[in-house]
Structure 1
Amino acid sequence: MAYKVFALASLVVVAIARPDNPPTCGYSAPTPSYAPAKYDLNYAVNDQSSGNDFGHEETRDGDHTQGSYYNVNGDSGYVADVTYEEEAQYPTPKASYGPPEPSYA
């Protein structure tokens, strides 16, 4: 019985002596601070041999982003600005079903 009383008394002493805010190894991590994003970028490809001719431009200042064909203002999401410069073409598709034509050599 004396052992139980000693164990209970030890537990009470440890609980009372425990600090409310225990130390954290003496190191406090710095709070990160972030600067608002700000950049301008652009690129262009014009390869006459392959016919590739395209590019892109984009600027960002904080929450506002504007690209060649879209813009974003805060949480608005991408708002597209799409234009067409040529008339749409709708060629007749060729049938691609059925067995291949037999060939005799």
Structure 2
Amino acid sequence: MTFKVSLVPLLMIVGVALAVPPSYPPQPTYKQPGMPHNFAYNVKDDYSGTNFGHSENSDGNTVRGSYNVDLPDGRKQTVKYEADHYKGYVANVEFQGEAQYPHQYGSPVTYKPQPSYHPQPTYQPQPSYQPQPSYQPQPSYHP
């Protein structure tokens, strides 16, 4: 019983201490202003079958853009998005085409890899002259 009685005042003191706001001033925060930008790129490589792109523009507050990619199942995926500090990131995903699933799976690349190692010839070139020693060393000690 004494344990319960002594615990109640301790909890009241801790509760009051946590309820009092801190006396130090809050740190100032720095918010960087938005930076307008605009970019776009596309990559299409018929040799490997790669095809994708991205474009984006911003007025400093809202970013709008889209990106697309050709998927391995034969469809094209396009994502159009808009992002700002109020609505967050809102995306609309669209697919074009019908998914194709072949019975055999394998690499879509049809080129034959070439070896990257090319051995050097086995012969060793010989100098066209015969070097002659220019001095005769003398032993530094006599046994």
Q: Could you state the TM-score of these two structures normalised by the residue count of structure 1?
A: 0.49
Q: Which has the larger radius of gyration?
A: 2
